[in-house]
Amino acid sequence: MATDLLTRTRGRIDTYFAVGVHGSTMRRELMAGTVTFLAMCYVLAVNPSILGDQGALSEQGIPTQAVFTATAVSAVAGSLVMGLWARYPIALAPGMGLNAFFAFSVVLGMGIPWQVALSGTLLSGVIFFVLAVTRIREKILNAIPLQLKLAVAAGVGVFVAFLGFKNAGIVVASDATLVKLGDFTQGTTMLALFGLVVTVIFLVRGWHGAVLYGIVLTAVVGMIAGLVDVPDGIAALPRGLDETFGQAVIHLPDAFTAQMAVVILTMLFVDFFDASGTLIGVANQAGLLNSEGELPRAKSALSADAVGTMAGAVIGTSTTTAYVESTAGVSAGGRTGLTAVVTAAWFAVAMFCYPIFAVVAGSGAVTAAALIVVGVLMARSLGDIDWTRLEFAVPAFITIVMMPLTYSIANGLAMGMIFYPVVMAARGRFREVHPVMWVLTLIFLSYFFFLAE
């Protein structure tokens, strides 16, 4: 009886997510969801350090424990919507760039209370949702030419790899040259290099879950060497939401000001294109774009960001968005929404087991190899770009290099889409440029001159 029930349940899950149709397996999806969580769980430690009252914002910040819980809850909500509705292997959580904007530009720079800033986040999520369900955003996304989408995928890969090298200490800051080679004698850098070597070996050997195995082995070696903290506990009850829940709604009237209009527009703009770039990049790596380079079920996928943002704002955190670390799960074999559902489940568990997950979350050296390997895999789309034609090569190259150089997926995407219609027009192919692209060009130019930092 129990065996029959399990078989029927597995069959229903397989049918709903089309696991077999996408050439995946239940085991592989479970593995991929776990890998995605491990690659992005650092947000549980970093987000509270940026937004919390025990971090950079000090007494002006949101209660730190509440930020941690809200971070996990928003990741659960956004990832579930993405997995169950859009059925994509893409997880969501509070975005790192946007939480810095929230903290340093809005709260510290403009002196806006965090409660009102959360109201602005909520409003940006509402606008985002309207754009998504009315298919306006989908039309914009599908107006982007395939060559640029391939460039975005490759650029995201380079950006992810750069994050990995930075977290590993292999690449460090330099006053003279901006970046330089790090100190390989540092213990954490050596640990990251060890992780990179073993992960590559597992990958080359064709092991599904190579990234996960690399993370686990690196963490264990790090604990033995004293480079990674050993968990000081197992469980801790989530707390703090009583101080933040609903504050975004209560202070909503205070958000209707000219100053907050700029804040809301910036949040909306950055999330709009950062998430779009991430969705394109991850979907391309997973082979989920159609023959015309368009994103199937784009309406549902794009709505997930908005739902996550609205839920997170009401609970107590900054803008929630699609995470580029989802590429780690795709590299482990994830192809369906089941991957995102598994990631959501891990975030739900993490709410009660933070002392354990803080071990990985607090060590960039442990997850660095995963990010670097993912970058290698995503760079494969470089070969599909037509480099022999300058009207494609120029905007593609600018898109790719600007992502890591400006530390922003949105900036790279914007720069590429500014150059594309200009170069196409100079080539005499004006009519082949979608009218939406010309509108985006004007918007992006305004963004760089008035909003970008």
Q: What confidence tens digit (pLDDT) does each residue in 222-268 have?
A: 999 999 888 777 777 777 788 999 999 999 999 998 888 878 877 88
Report residue 208's pLDDT band, with 50, 70 and 90 as the boundaries.
Answer: low
- E strand spans, 155-206: 171-174, 178-181
Report residue 297's pLDDT band, with 50, 70 and 90 as the boundaries.
Answer: confident
Q: How many CB atoms lie within 10 A of CB 203?
A: 21
Asked if the model's pLDDT at residue 424 lies above 80, the reply is: yes
pTM equals 0.75
Q: d(Cα 376, Cα 352) in Å, to the nearest integer?
A: 34
pLDDT at 76 (0 to 100): 95
Phi, psi of 375 (to 5 degrees): -60, -40
Q: d(Cα 84, Cα 91) in Å, to the nearest integer?
A: 11
What does the pLDDT look like over 107-161, one tens digit per residue?
988 889 999 999 999 999 999 899 888 877 667 767 778 888 888 878 888 888 8
Contact 327, 377 (CB under 8 A): yes
Q: d(Cα 404, Cα 401) in Å, to the nearest integer?
A: 6
Q: d(Cα 349, Cα 74) in Å, to the nearest integer?
A: 13
Asked if the model's pLDDT at residue 275 lies above 70, the reply is: yes
Phi, psi of 281 (to 5 degrees): -65, -45
What does the pLDDT look like over 45-91, one tens digit per residue?
778 878 888 766 778 889 888 888 999 999 999 999 999 998 999 99
Contact 342, 32 (CB under 8 A): yes
Contact 82, 31 (CB under 8 A): no
Q: What is the CA radius of gyration of the chain?
A: 21
pLDDT at 342 (0 to 100): 97
Q: d(Cα 253, Cα 257) in Å, to the nearest integer?
A: 9
